[in-house]
Amino acid sequence: MDELSLALPFSAVSRIPVGIGILLLAVLGYVIYQTYFHPLAKYPGPWLGKFTEAGAAYHAVKGDLHLHIWWCHQRYGPVIRYTPNLVIFNTESGLKDIYVRGKDLRKDVHYGVIQLGTKNLLTVTSPKEHAKRSKIIGPGFSSTAMREFEPKLVEHVWKFRDALYPTKTDGGWGPPMVMSEWCSYFAFDVITDLVFGKACDLLGSQEHQCTVYDISGMMKRLSLLMYAPYVFLGRLDKKLFKDEVRGMKRYHRLVNNMMTDAASMSGHVLSRLTSARDSVTGRGLSDVDVYSEAAMLAVAGSDSTSVSLCASLFYLATCPHAYSKLAHEIRSIFPSPEDIRTGPLLQQCTYLQACIKETLRISPAVAGCPYRRVEKGDTLIVDGNVIPAGCSVGTGIYSIHHNPTYFPRPDAFLPERWLDDDPLDASAAAYTPFSQGSRACIGRHLAQMELQLALAHLVWSYDFRRPDTTAGEMGAGHRGAADVGRTNPNEFQLYDHIISQKRGPVLQFRPRDLIHAN
């Protein structure tokens, strides 16, 4: 009995080192394989990225994933292994191989976690299914549809313009306005009017203005889930993002209400979704599919445009030469604000187009790396590199837009680089703010029109500036910033949560002096 009682504890203890030893051997084997024998082992990159996506998840939550990818290219070169199965290329030829010549590549399965209810145009992985949905949704965002929508868009632009100078004064400077809020209100009103047939009216009412924060929080949570889907286990994400989950539920209630109201109207994108039928099977989208598409269109359409508009205003208020040149162009070409429409006069505004292009280059609305997966049984050649099945590839949009090989002086806001007579030529082939190929942003025509009309109206009607206080620093980088890539005070700061998020700038507006104009 005594011998048995002594033997049992010893036996139990003796088994522990064996289990730990097996685990250590498994870990060691994994490390050796990932370091020396994995198909992507030859590519340089961050050390942690050889073994796990934890580093990417950390930077995704922090909001500087685009900057970390850019930094990795500075350190390791144009081709990096960013996570165990992901290679990122910072070359023009690689960009084309992936997104144009690799048009049949599937979107990576990681995108599945960011769907709102079920698959939608942004998250569907199959090229065939994407093409099918794009055929249904695309006509609602075509250049023809945008021309039909323009009168409504102009109404929103006027309302936006008037909201930025709320005080009745003698023409002096108005109060500081946080443009990340007001641009979001404007963009959300526009996209909800287009998708649901009725604007949510964030510009005119405070009731739903919290929606912009709900969307921002929702994208932050989803950006973590994209690289760390195991956070779903035990719904740890709900514990980590309590406020964001509440905001997501509030957003879903709002979308449900807008869909109910839209049922009695026609002529909007939602009506196209509900009535569309497959030409072969006669089947349409399910109610769940329609909801997911509408909810994601409202998110992507508002977020991407609002960040581009904020960035444009930041750069114009920060760069006097660009502001003066654009103001002269707009105020010389358009006799009155009523004349600011799409057409021949707007086409003459070449410097306006250059300012928008330069903004989308230096501060893209999607700054990270939209990546694609090589399917089983296939291989892909990217910039001369053979990528085997099961691995993913992509190009960091912010990174290639800041590559001096294609864009000299990449950190400077220089609209002149897009003009024909400027020696600082830009590479159009490396310019990809809306992505390229079959997955190019479906809302690019709307975004371009919003930016052109909104900027033209604001520049025609107002002078604006960043306040000479600490508030005027919002949105800018700081020379003493600890984070890599955030030290340029003349660059608008993005927070990469799948779609770029923003804070600021703070601007003051003043009606222009028409007596001494021009």
- Cα–chain-centroid distance for residue 278? 30
Which runs of E-coded beta strand occur in 314-461?
372-373, 380-382, 385-387, 392-394
Structure tokens at 246: 């509440």
User: Does any domain span residue 1?
Assistant: no
**Distance separating alpha carbons of residues 192 and 233, to the nearest angstrom:** 34
pLDDT for 13 beyond 50:
no
User: Has residue 60 been placed in a domain?
Assistant: yes
Please give the helix or strand (H or E) that residue 120 lies within, else none: none
pLDDT at 514: 59
Q: Are 373 and 105 in contact (CB under 8 A)?
A: yes
Strand partners, 394: 88
**Other CB atoms closer than 10 Å to residue 274's CB: what's the count?**
16
What's the pLDDT band for 423 if we cut at 50, 70, 90?
low
489 pLDDT above the threshold of 60: yes
Mean pLDDT of all residues in 267-289: 81
Instruction: For residue 367, give its domain range.
Output: 38-410+428-509
Q: Is the per-residue pLDDT at 12 higher than 60?
A: no
> How many whole angstroms separate alpha carbon 179 and alpha carbon 263?
33
Q: Which of 256-265, 283-292, 349-358 has the lowest mean pLDDT?
A: 283-292
Mean pLDDT of the 417-422 span: 84
Residue 18: per-residue pLDDT: 76
Q: What is the pLDDT of residue 77?
A: 98
**Cα-Cα end-to-end distance for the chain:** 106
| Residues paired with residue 79 on neighbouring β-strands, in sequence order | 89
Contacts of 281 (CB under 8 A, 6+ apart): none
43 within domain boundaries: yes
Least confident of 213-217, 481-485, 501-505: 481-485
Greater confidence (189 vs 9) lies with 189
- What's the mean pLDDT in 106-112? 80
Q: How far is 478 from 475, CA to CA, in rounded Å? A: 10
Whether residue 232 has pLDDT greater than 80: no
pTM score: 0.92
Q: What 3-state class would DSSP assign to 392?
A: strand
Mean pLDDT of the chain: 90
In the three-class reduction of DSSP (H, G, I as helix; E, B as strand; rest coil), residue 426 is classed as coil
> How confident is residue 169, by pLDDT bands cut at 50, 70 and 90?
low
Q: In the predicted model, what is the mean pLDDT of residues 235-263?
A: 91
In a domain, 13, yes or no: no
Chain mean position to CA 483: 20
pLDDT number for residue 15: 55
Residue 210 annotated as lining a ligand binding site:
no
The two three-digit tokens of residue 63, written as one number: 């909001």
Out of 124-128, 182-186, 450-454, which region has the weakest mean confidence (pLDDT)? 124-128
pLDDT band at 409 (very low <50, low <70, confident <90, very high): very high
Asked if residue 517 is part of any domain, the answer here is no
Instruction: Report whether pLDDT(7) > 50.
Output: no
- Helix, strand, coil content of the chain in percent (nearest 5): 55, 10, 35
Q: Is the residue at 101 inside a domain?
A: yes
Q: Could you read off the pLDDT of 438-477 as tens digits, one per residue?
A: 888 999 999 999 999 999 999 999 999 999 999 889 999 9
Residue 155, pLDDT > 80, answer yes
The length of the chain, given as a count of residues: 518
Q: Which residue has the higher pLDDT, 126 or 44?
A: 44
- Say if residue 99's pLDDT is above 60: yes
pLDDT confidence bin for 515, thresholds 50/70/90: very low
213 within domain boundaries: yes
Domain count, the chain: 1
How many other C-beta atoms can be found within 10 angstroms of the C-beta atom of residue 440?
14
Which of 344-358, 378-392, 395-409 is least confident?
378-392
* CATH number of the domain encompassing residue 82: 1.10.630.10
Per the domain annotation, does 518 fall within a domain? no
Lowest mean pLDDT among 121-135, 246-260, 328-342: 121-135
pLDDT of residue 2: 46
Confidence of residue 300 (pLDDT cuts 50, 70, 90): very high
pLDDT tier, 116 (very low <50, low <70, confident <90, very high otherwise): low
- How far CA 405 is from CA of 81, 276, 433, in Å, comes to 21, 45, 17
Distance CA 137, CA 324 (A): 40
